[in-house]
Structure 1
Amino acid sequence: MPIKILIVEDNMIIQMFLESTIKEIKNTVVLTANNGEEALAMMELDTPGLLLLDIGLSGKRNGIEIAELVNIKYDIPIVFITGNSDKCTLERAVKTRPRHIINKPIDENKLKFEIQGIIKDLSL
């Protein structure tokens, strides 16, 4: 059965890159949201199996705040994507227990490898 992966990224170019890269992985269905509020609304209707979440989201809440809410309400793995790797931000992000933190610029092969590993873990 395919795994639904929700990408939450406010940069459309990066969002399209992530979407096209992940669609190349077998048994995945990709959903996208431009901000945290849109992602939370989508999860109310259909909970994904994996969340790819930009830390530096624009909108009412950043990615870390969205991850905190997701951890309370849903039991799904989170992978952070960030261009912001300062110590304070990373410490806050790690407290939300993400599966991985992927730094921008994103290496396509590393991204595929990480996502395939998580999918394999979820299938066990």
Structure 2
Amino acid sequence: MREKMKVMVVEDDAIIGMDIEHRVRRLGYEVTGVADNAEEAVELAADTKPDIALMDIRLRGDIDGIDTARMLKEQFALPVIFITAYSDLKMRSRALDLNPAGYIVKPIREVELKNTLEEARRQIIGD
């Protein structure tokens, strides 16, 4: 088996970020770090070279998760799985325009996270 897929978590709520990090590790993936805004996410991606980002759509600061995902895709060709508590059509349409590796609506169900990460792993790494 190849090395573990490296996952970066971008979530502006610290408790939810820690919960996602814990769940991802429990599912057998490596977490490269947790960022809570666009600037941190870009720096973390540059420093840790993740295979994928789990991206909350609402982030701290002026740049939302969709625009952050666009920056990560342009700068690092980094695929993203969006995670959001908001499912309004305009936001969902903006997110889906980026062809994400997945889209999860909060509250996060473990089985949905597992299945979405497994599908992303097949697309990104193979195995």
SS of 1:79 mapped into structure 2: strand
In structure 2, C-alpha distance between the alignment counterparts of 1:106 and 1:43, rounded to whole Å? 23
Give the CA deviation at 1:46. 2.4
- How many residues align? The count is 123
Unpaired runs of 5+ residues, structure 2, are: none
Give the CA deviation at 1:84. 1.1
Number of the residue aligned with 2:105: 103
> 1:81·1:101 contact (CA, 8 Å) conserved in 2?
yes
Answer yes or no: is 1:115 the counterpart of 2:93: no
1:83 to 79, 82, 85: 85
| Percentage of matched positions with identical amino acids | 32
Answer yes or no: is 1:39 the counterpart of 2:38: no
Number of the residue aligned with 1:65: 67
> 1:81·1:102 contact (CA, 8 Å) conserved in 2?
yes
Give the CA deviation at 1:11. 0.8
**1:4-43 Cα distance to aligned partner (Å, 9 max, x none):** 10000011121111111110122x2112112111011111
SS of 1:97 mapped into structure 2: coil
1:21 to 9, 20, 23: 23
Pairwise CA RMSD? 1.2
TM-score, length basis structure 2: 0.90
Give the CA deviation at 1:117. 2.1
SS of 2:12 mapped into structure 1: coil
TM-score, length basis structure 1: 0.92
Give the CA deviation at 1:121. 2.6
**1:37-75 Cα distance to aligned partner (Å, 9 max, x none):** 101111122221010000011213100110111121112
Unpaired runs of 5+ residues, structure 1, are: none
- Runs of 4 or more, structure 1, over 6 Å off, are none
Answer yes or no: is 1:49 the counterpart of 2:13: no
Q: Give the letter aligned to residue 88 of structure 1.
A: K
